[in-house]
Structure 1
Amino acid sequence: MADGNGASRREVIQLAAGGGGGLVLGFSLVGKGEAASSAARLNTYVTVQPDGWVEVVSKNPEIGQGVKTSMPMLIAEELDADWSKVRTVQADSDPGLYGRQFAGGSMSTPLHWDELRRVGATGRALLIAAAAKSWGVDPATCSTEPGRVVHAASGRSAGYGSLASAAAALPAPDPRSLKLKDPKDFRIIGQPMAQVDTPSIVTGKPLFGIDVVVPGMLFATFVKAPVFGAGVEAADLDAARAVKGVRKAFRVEGAGGTEALSPGVAVVADTWWQARKGRDRLNIRWKAPSEPGLSSRDLEARMASTARSSVDRIERHDGDVDAALKGAAKRIEATYHYPYLAHAALEPQNCTAHYSKGRMEIWAPTQNPEAGRQLVAKTLGIRPEDITVHLVRCGGGFGRRLSNEYMVEAAWIARETGAPVKLLWTREDDIRQSFYRPAGWHKFEGGLDASGQLVAWHDHFLTPGQGVQTARSAGMSATEFPARFVPNFRYGLSILPSPTPTGPLRAPGSNGISFAVQGFIDELAHAAGADPLAFRLKLLGEQGLVGTPGRDGYDAGRMRGVLKKVAEVSGWGRTRMAPRQGQGVAFHFSHLGYFAEVVQVRVENDGRIRVEKVWVAGDVGRQIVNPSGAINQVQGSVLDGLSAALGQEITLEGGAVVQGNFDDYRLMRIADAPPVEVHFVLSDHPPTGLGEPALPPAPPALCNAIFAATGKRVRRLPVDPALLVAS
């Protein structure tokens, strides 16, 4: 994702502070050539209290990726605050103050690394100026220690709290004129910091959307058709209303499609369990869909038929692939498939809404609050400025909460009910009414010359969509590796019609593409009689950056660096494996991060897989903001990828999703989770995000390890242990 505000000039503005003469700093993001005015977007971030405590606003949604800690760390570092006296405050959704607020694409660090540090640096400059004015000295002769301004020549010092009122009266300097800290002087950035919400999480204090309580609040459930978009034929509303505690039961005709408000039936009650009991008595008859419901078998048949025919269109063609394949010493073919996946965040979708006197107030665990506000406004016919969105911590997002239909549902039900309402989905709702990671099929052909060099690559990629358009998150870039690294390269695309709604899931696109591409590369290495890691290094070659930085750039040197590092730390090629034990390697570039991983497995004779350990090497630039949070994100990404590869698949029957809970959509259990050893390779590039790029290499490294242990190739996910039974 990219920041759409186009900001190129940043100025700090001084705001009047309420409550005890505190100092409030803000940022105004304005477009090039614009003047800061009352209409400019203002971002207030920092408050220094008279007692020395510093409150730092975290503007973006916290979904478990740690930005509520790491983003305030950037500000506090340049402010030279005492981190032990910093309070983090979650912002509400307010694009007028904060610009774009979202959690997605691993973009929080790259978008705010410079901007937020300058917020802190400007605050520090004001505090120094206030102290220097008080002492009658040159500000250049003053410095800071955590929470204090110091004048070494006279031995004087003053705490930030005592300087706050005076600093608030001074004109703010141009943040671009300020010198930021040398990284060697960092006191906060680069130190492992506990997440600011951890005490509340481990003690069970209300924190998440599911915990929100509003006076006079009722509870709602909303049932939708198992076949996406189908309408309500009939429902026994009186039976639902007869349940004790049920206040209302009514049909919703739907508006705006699946991504806004689907047809369904709402039940509102004093407690959620009463609402659920009323729902169970609705006896809904759904309208027949306009087209026969699609099944997974139908999709498989369509895929097989399409794979045998020519591609819909060629997305990239370098060299002469057909001639190179014909002249190859070895020619390898394989078909890979990965399924639809649900996000299955531990906190089901929920939202609390209150409509009163023409205004809507919403408490939402959302990754994209402004998009939610606009969607509610459009669907309900309310002015966006009459909608307030409070951001509450998400119990997982993984891209699912970039869609906001549950916000619209809660707002609609609240307006119909005339009271505050908390809408809470069931687990079955969450899994069966999602925007799924798209399924995909890759039909590969590869050619090796007599020396084992890869000289030809053809990928016929089959993916869901409609007409000529791929479904959301179902496309593949024409520069996806190994494009530009194979002299004769062809990528053809075919679109399979599918009504299943799709959307981004952690490392969109990459989480499936990497499994297929890195699996086939492993097959080519085996056919060449080469070590899989050495084959990959040879494929990357000796070149550096390929393409344009920030657009289609791919730095082969950085990828070689993480490959060599993971080989070193994993003992690749030096560790003696027992029978049915093996190591597999894979790498992938996504979300500006370069990652290579080695997985070690043992496959029992009955086909059961035990992942023994994972080693990870990643390059996300020159600085790790919060090592504790960074390691957590990498480990979580790897376990997420392994969990999906080992046990997760969404299938369709008659147009409806079959899976519904964690008994048939299995998440990895603690006992199955292997140790994940994380290493960062620092490089001289701006720091980038960590929520997603460590996931894509995990599934192919796992499957390549299974091949090393058993000699059996996994070309379809999830892994089927029955195919790995010792013969």
Structure 2
Amino acid sequence: MIHDAKTMAEMAAQTPTATPILANASRRAVLGGLGALVLALSLRDTARADEGQTEEQKQQKFGADGMPHGWRDDPKIFIAIAKDGTVTVTNHRSEMGQGVRTSVALVVADELEADWSKVRVTQAYGDEERFGNQDTDGSRSLRHFFQHFRHAGAAARLMLVQAAAKQWGVPASEVRSENHQLVHAKSGRKLGYGDVAAAAAELPVPERDSVKLKDPKAFRYIGTGKIGLIDNHDITTGKAVYGLDVKLDGMLYAVVARPPVYGGKIKSVDDAEALKVPGVVKTVRIEGGEIPSEFMPLGGVAVVARNTWAAMKGREALKITWDDGPNASYDTDAFRTELEKAARQPGKVVRNQGDVDGAFAKAKKKFEAEYFVPHLAQAPMEPPAAVVWVKTDGTCEAWACTQGPQAAHDRLVKRLNLPADKVRVNVTLLGGGFGRKSKPDYVVEAALCSQAVGAPVKLAWTREDDIHHGYYHTISVERIEAAVDEKGMPTAWLHRSTAPTIGSIFAPDPKHELPFELGMGLVNNPLNIKNMRLENPAAPAHVRIGWFRSVSNIPHAFAIQSFVAELAHAAGRDPKEYLLELIGPGRKIDPTEIGDVWNYGEDPKRYPIDTGRLRRVIETVADGAKWGRKLEKGRGLGVAGHYSFVTYTACAAEVEVDAKGQVKVNAVDIAVDCGAQVNPERIRSQMEGAVVMGMGLALTSEITFKNGRAQQNNFDGYEIIRIDAAPKEIRVHLVPSGDYAGPLGGVGEPGVPPVAPAIANAVFAATGRRVRQLPIRGQAASA
């Protein structure tokens, strides 16, 4: 999720039993339990920020860095040090394989000068007043919180030093921290962190400007790449708790029969046979079907039983007559034709520079192409799941694999009509997310079932549920036209991007993409072309459109990088050299000056578009792939670069195409420049995962609709890349830039966009057949 729902709705409207994981500690609180003395560190008082505020003021609570207004300098990150010296770091973002729990802990531990073997991590529950923005999306976790984490660790280190100095009766300047110990060099005395934790907790938290951060040369964990996943042992031994693993005493189980068409509703239901299934306890009518749907349930009938199998068999026995509603005739083939028609007509102008029409009128050569990207499903390995207990005392507690615990909390409050302080959302590990689990409709479904039966309920989505009823990546048609000079270089560029918007789940069919979607590789196109016009024709939505890893960067990068390769071929030029010439010399572009009012939510002065960095990652993958080498028949190299989430990535793919047109990706080089690197091990893993995911988009993945219904059911129809199709080599190139005081980029999402166009361009190099739609499937076969 990029914005909170209220902001999204406004943008769309303007555009046609568990013990608390943490106690709320004050600055000087000492938490005790089981004989362990604990230092609880919050760099500002944790009193509620909304006292005396209007409702409007309460809603507008975050700054651009994700921190609540008034707390921008100091995050509410907690550090607990037990009597035995164990350091527990609270992670406020959701862990779904990207390693954020590890990265948060290693940053704090480094500045704390802690022994990594004594560091643990615990998960924050949903409370943005306490922990800051908790939406795990947009590659923002370290980008926004790195410096806050450093200051938290350094402040705790200073407090420990002060406590030891006071105990010894020496100046604090004579005490240093060293690998979990306080050392007085003159006397040789030493104390462990646990020995002074209680005393340190009694000291006032130092002001931010009095806290000295480490010199990066002294980092022991940050930037070294030596730290593996902090959860690795629990994950590999089956001890880790995901959403599907939560179990409470007396818990029941539920699945839901949902409308097969978005916006559909129940005409009639007969549950008599379902109630006869052994183990079925109750059926629950869930209201829904409204458009826009926001994050609320689609509606339908839930079957609650003593185990999931009984619930599923009960669902099969339901007799439901549906009113399919306004999207009953949705057909993606027909809709593609509509989008193509719209893309061939003038649309809403979102960026206009120079004289495009004049340049086209003078041009002797013109080129045009249309590119198509289908609906995609996030399809995390762990489908949506939640356990919720709505208790008779008027409280509600949830355990969910969610990317947005505050969003889940707020929807539970709204749907159950409970006070905000009576609802708690605990965050489990996520078996993948990719944007799907930022929408908590499944958590609300579980809560409604629990409320109806008076017991805790685990509600699970099956793979079929996930594919049939999800929030899909938008379908799009990208049309690009170019006028070229005698050297084959563009003198004018016209790009029409036609796609339903995510805003359609927040407002009644806004039809045009929102600024954040346009700012994902469209209006912030950095190509050095004098005359450029970018348009956004209208496109209605017929399914729930939602965030998908890297979002609208996928169709924009695919179209632009493919079209550039087409122009290079027409000019008789090497595609890599042509791309670099088209990007132009290294320069810094203020995104607001070229129509991008969003810039990934970042200050454009701090985060300009740097074409030198974009050039560097392209050159890096070309070198890694040994660009220009002669390949045997049926093999080819393709390259693509892209800027997204204030990070620069590029990909070079080597493919092999057999006589039947089957595409095999033999090797991939991917380069990333995200600024200074905090956790290189995780950056490599993210890039490797992005390559495999990007291959799926390029080669196999597609959701189609007929009569309003998704035609794919499981992984036999919605194909993701299997392990046997993974490249033999994925070479990740980490391109460092900047320093640890400067702005950081994102990592989780930027690796995906350049993969598909690099593969498509490689297919052309191998076969001479141009790919203009995804997935590639049989397009590489001989005619």
Query: Is TM > 0.5 for Structure 1 vs Structure 2?
Result: yes
CA distance change for structure 1 residues 365 and 293 in 2, over 3 Å: closer, same or farther?
Answer: same
What is residue 641 of structure 1 aligned with on the other side?
694
- Corresponding residue number in structure 2 for 1:254: 288
Q: Counterpart of 2:318 in structure 1: which amino acid?
A: L
Q: What residue in structure 2 maps to residue 200 of structure 1?
A: 234
SS in 2 for 1:649: coil
5 Å matches for 1:169-188?
Answer: 169-188=202-221
**For the residues of structure 2 that align with 1:645 and 1:482, how far apart are their CA atoms?**
22
1:703 aligns with 2:760: yes
The residue aligned with 1:7 is: none
CA shift for structure 1 position 365: 0.7
Choose which of 664, 670, 682 in structure 2 pairs with 1:629. 682
Q: What is the CA distance between 1:307 and its match in structure 2? A: 3.2
Note the alpha carbon deviations across 1:451-508, whole angstroms, 9 max, x for none. Answer: 2322111112211257654367994238635356210111121112232110110001
**Alpha-carbon distance between aligned partners in 2 of 1:500 and 1:98, rounded to the nearest angstrom:** 34
Q: CA 1:678–1:44 in 2, change beyond 3 Å: closer, same or farther?
A: closer
1:464 partner SS: coil
1:541 is the counterpart of 2:584:
yes
Which is worse superposed, 360-369 or 550-559?
550-559
1:360 is displaced (CA, Å) by 0.7
* Aligned partners of 1:122 and 1:178 also within 8 Å: yes
Tell me: CA distance 1:440–1:290, structure 2 relative to 1, closer, same or farther (3 Å).
closer
Residue 123 and residue 474 in structure 1: after superposition, are their counterparts in 2 closer, same or farther (change >3 A)?
closer
Residue matched to 2:31: 17
What residue is the counterpart of 2:717 in the other structure?
A: 664
Does the alignment pair 1:504 with 2:557?
no
Q: 2: distance between equivalents of 1:206 and 1:617?
A: 32
The equivalent of 1:129 in structure 2 is 162
- In 1, Cα distance between equivalents of 2:417 and 2:215: 51
User: What does residue 22 of structure 2 align with?
Assistant: none
2:161/2:176 contact within 8 Å kept: yes
Matches within 5 A, 1:41-190: 43-190=76-223
The C-alpha deviation readout for 1:179-221, integer Å capped at 9, x for no partner, is 1111110001123311122212212224100000011000001
What secondary structure is seen at the aligned counterpart in 1 of 2:285? strand
Contact 1:224–1:265, Cα closer than 8 Å, also in 2? yes
Task: Encode CA deviations 1:38-90: one digit per residue, 9 max, x unaligned.
Answer: x9988351111111111111111111111011011111111000001111111
In structure 1, the residue corresponding to 2:743 is in which secondary structure?
coil
Query: 2:656·2:665 contact (CA, 8 Å) conserved in 1?
Result: yes
| Structure 1 residue aligned with 2:615 | 560
* Cα 1:237–1:40 shift into 2, 3 Å: farther
Q: Deviation of residue 250 (structure 1)?
A: 2.9
**What is the CA distance between 1:273 and its match in structure 2?**
0.2
Give the corresponding residue for 1:524. 567
Q: Per the alignment, do residues 172 and 27 of structure 1 end up closer, same or farther by CA in structure 2, a change over 3 Å counting?
A: closer
Q: 1:47 to 1:386 in 2, by over 3 A?
A: same
Q: Does the C-alpha gap of structure 1 residues 66 and 93 become closer, same or farther in structure 2, counting only changes over 3 Å?
A: same
Counterpart position of 1:725 = 781
After TM superposition, the score normalised by the length of structure 2 is: 0.88
Question: 1:425 aligned to 428, 445, 461, which one?
Answer: 461
Correspondence for 2:61: none
- CA shift for structure 1 position 29: 7.5
In 1, are the aligned partners of 2:370 and 2:478 still within 8 Å (CA)? yes
1:12 Cα deviation after fit: 8.9
Separation in structure 2 between the aligned mates of residue 162 and residue 551 of structure 1, nearest angstrom:
44
Deviation at residue 256 of structure 1 after TM alignment:
6.0
* Deviations 1:635-694, CA, capped at 9 Å, x for gaps: 101110111211011111001111110000011111111121111111114222210101
Q: Which stretch of the first structure deviates more once superposed, 452-461 or 638-647?
A: 452-461
Match in the other structure for 1:482: 525
Tell me the residue number matched to 2:360.
325
Confirm whether residue 470 of structure 1 aligns to residue 550 of structure 2.
no
Contact residue 484 and residue 492 of structure 2 kept, 8 A: yes
For residues 328-371 of structure 1, give each alpha carbon's deviation from its aligned partner in whole angstroms, at most 9, with x where no partner exists.
Answer: 34311111110010100011111100011111110011101111
TM-score, scaled relative to structure 1: 0.94
Tell me the matched-pair count: 716
1:606-625 matches, within 5 Å, as 606-622=660-676, 624-625=677-678
Given that 1:241 and 1:248 are in contact with CA atoms closer than 8 Å, whether structure 2 keeps it comes out as yes
Deviation at 1:448, TM superposition (A): 1.6
2:101 partner letter: K
Cα distance in 1 for partners of 2:270, 2:733 equals 59
Aligned partners of 1:682 and 1:519: how far apart in 2?
27
Contact 1:338 1:441 in 2 (8 A): yes
1:245 to 266, 270, 279: 279
Q: Which moved more, 1:371-380 or 1:69-78?
A: 371-380
Moved more, 659-668 or 17-26: 17-26
Shift of 1:397: 0.5
Structure 1: gaps spanning 5 or more residues: 5-10
CA-based RMSD: 2.5
Q: State how far apart, in whole Å, the 1-side matches of 2:584 and 2:513 are.
A: 34
The residue number in structure 1 matching 2:627 is 572
Q: Structure 1 residues 35, 127: closer, same or farther in 2, change over 3 A?
A: farther
**CA pair 290-329 structure 1, distance change in 2 beyond 3 A:** closer
In the TM superposition, what is the alpha-carbon distance from 1:375 to its structure 2 partner? 1.1
Overall identity of the aligned pairs, in %? 37
8 Å contact from structure 1 (residues 463, 474) kept in 2? no
1:215 paired with 2:249, answer yes
Change (3 A) 1:384 1:434: same
Post-superposition shift, 1:21? 2.3
Match of 1:410 among 421, 446, 463: 446
Contact in 2 for aligned 1:255/1:379 (Cα 8 Å): no
Quote how far apart the aligned CAs of 1:229 are: 2.0
Deviation at 1:300, TM superposition (A): 2.1
Change (3 A) 1:290 1:488: closer
> Is contact 1:437–1:473 with CA below 8 Å preserved after alignment?
no
Q: Deviations over 1:587-618 (max 9, x none)?
A: 00101110111000000111011100100111
Q: 1:162 to 1:423 in 2, by over 3 A?
A: same
Deviation digits for residues 344-403 of structure 1, max 9, x if unmatched? 001111110001111111001110111111111112212221101111011111011111
In structure 1, the residue matched to 2:15 is none
Task: Report what 1:8 is aligned to.
Answer: none
Query: Is 2:389 the partner of 1:351?
Result: no
Q: Which residue of 2 aligns with 1:307?
A: 343
Other-structure match for 1:394? 430
Change over 3 Å in CA distance of 1:551–1:22 after alignment to 2: closer
Q: What amino acid is aligned across from residue 533 of structure 2 in structure 1?
A: R
Q: Counterparts of 2:525 and 2:582 in 1: how far apart (Å)?
A: 8
Partners in 1 of 2:782 and 2:273 — Cα distance? 56
* Shift in Å, 1:94: 2.2
How far apart, in 1, do the equivalents of 2:413 and 2:38 lie? 36
Alignment partner for residue 705 of structure 2, among 641, 652, 655? 652
Distance in 1, matches of 2:245 and 2:514, equals 31
- Give, in whole Å, the separation in 2 of the partners of 1:369 and 1:652: 31
Alpha-carbon distance in 2 for matches of 1:439, 1:87? 43
Alpha-carbon distance, 1:291 to partner: 5.4
* SS in structure 2 at match of 1:634: helix
The whole-number CA distance in structure 2 between the counterparts of 1:618 and 1:354 is: 44
Change (3 A) 1:662 1:726: same
